[in-house]
Amino acid sequence: MIRGLYSAASGMFSLERKQEALSNNLANAQTPGFKKDDTILRAFPKLLIHRMRDFNKNGQMQINGLPFNPGQMTPVGELHNGVYAQERVPNFMQGSIVQTSNPLDIAINDQSIPFQEQNGRQVKPAAFFSVQLPDGTGYTRNGKWDVDANGSLVTSDGYRILGANNQPIQLPAGVSKEDLTITDSGELVAYASDPTRTRVVGQIGIAVAENPLALRRLGGNVYQSDNPLQIIDQQTAANLGVSLQQGFIEQSNVDLGQTMTEMMVTLKGYEANQKVIGAYDRSLEQLFSVGKING
């Protein structure tokens, strides 16, 4: 009976963690470039149960007139010890790309990158913008940018965008965001409509993670890698099928309808485990009252 309490409690704990992940996904449904977390639930290792010193028809001894073989073990079956939330795994499926016409809204399109084999399984690499963090380099899909007081390109979270030279991109004096044209390869061109003034003022740094599941989420939609990702050049980006789209934004890949459905199913599972614990509690209470010595 106590095993049943532990199994139901483990189900409640794991479903609570899953609900937290779903709530976080729902809260970031409108965050540009956000990648949802999928919660992996696994069962604890199963145990094989045997009855020890069991009766055996072929035994050489008898106890109370029944044949008995000392030390005989008879398989009973498997014992399941409940479930646990092993980890949260980011889902790097590309979100919808919508047009905004804002000059500093940039979307990464990496749908054409082919799958690669990583540790015996097929994994799809993902492209990211490189950003400057207080303690190193981060990677994000957030393409909603602006220009700060120093003329540096920054994300909506305030992180500076890094260029192909791994340095923050800073616009020259007198160049505003309305004067910029960003090519599909990431070149920042000022005054593209005026041939006499046209010039390249920067190159956006695009990094490709061969195995994006190895990245660590730092919060929101910024990730960090144990080994810095390599910035790819324009030719490599073209060969991989990675391109940028100015005036577009990649939305979160959170499906609102699916997320709400999963939250309701998770809540129902949590309530079911609550009822199981309540039933065990009432049974134990009755057992205690029956076995209690009166007087």
CA-based nearest residue to 108, from 192, 17, 31, 205: 205
Clarify whether residues 246 and 197 are in a common domain. yes
Residue 122 placed within a domain: yes
Does position 237 have pLDDT exceeding 70, yes or no?
Answer: yes
Of 35, 34, 208, 37, give the one whose Cα is nearest residue 112: 208
106 and 225 in a single domain? The answer is yes
pLDDT tens, position by position, 178-219: 999 999 999 999 998 888 889 999 999 999 999 998 899 887
Q: What is the mean pLDDT of residues 92-112?
A: 92
Whether residue 66 is contained in a domain is answered as no
Domain count, the chain: 2
Q: Are residues 151 and 184 in the same domain?
A: yes
**Residue 278 within any structural domain of the chain:** yes
Q: Does some domain include residue 213?
A: yes
Same domain flag for 205 and 231: yes
Q: Are residues 117 and 200 in the same domain?
A: yes
In a domain, 284, yes or no: yes
68 is a domain residue: no
Write out the residue range of the structural domain in which residue 8 sits.
2-44+80-88+256-291
Query: CA-CA distance, 213 to 90, in Å (whole number)?
Result: 7
Average pLDDT over residues 124-148: 92
Q: What is the mean predicted confidence (pLDDT) over 33-48?
A: 83
Torsions phi, psi for 134 (to 5 deg): -60, -30
What is the number of other CB atoms lying within 10 angstroms of the CB of residue 117?
Answer: 8
H helices of 28-129, in order, are none
Instruction: Examine the domain organization and report whether 27 and 159 are in the same domain.
Output: no
- What does the alpha-carbon distance between residue 161 and residue 152 come to, in Å, rounded to a whole number? 8
Judge if 213 and 187 occupy the same domain: yes
The pLDDT value given to residue 59: 47
Q: Are residues 221 and 125 in the same domain?
A: yes
Q: Does 183 share its domain with 101?
A: yes
The pLDDT value given to residue 295: 46
Is pLDDT above 90 for 268?
Answer: yes
Model pTM score: 0.78
Residues 184 and 114 in one domain: yes
Question: So what's the pLDDT on residue 219?
Answer: 75
* Assigned domain for 56 exists: no
pLDDT tens figures, 69-91: 555 666 666 666 778 787 888 89
Residue 225 resides in a domain: yes
Answer yes or no: do 102 and 237 share one domain.
Answer: yes
Mean pLDDT value across residues 130-138? 91
210, 241: one domain: yes
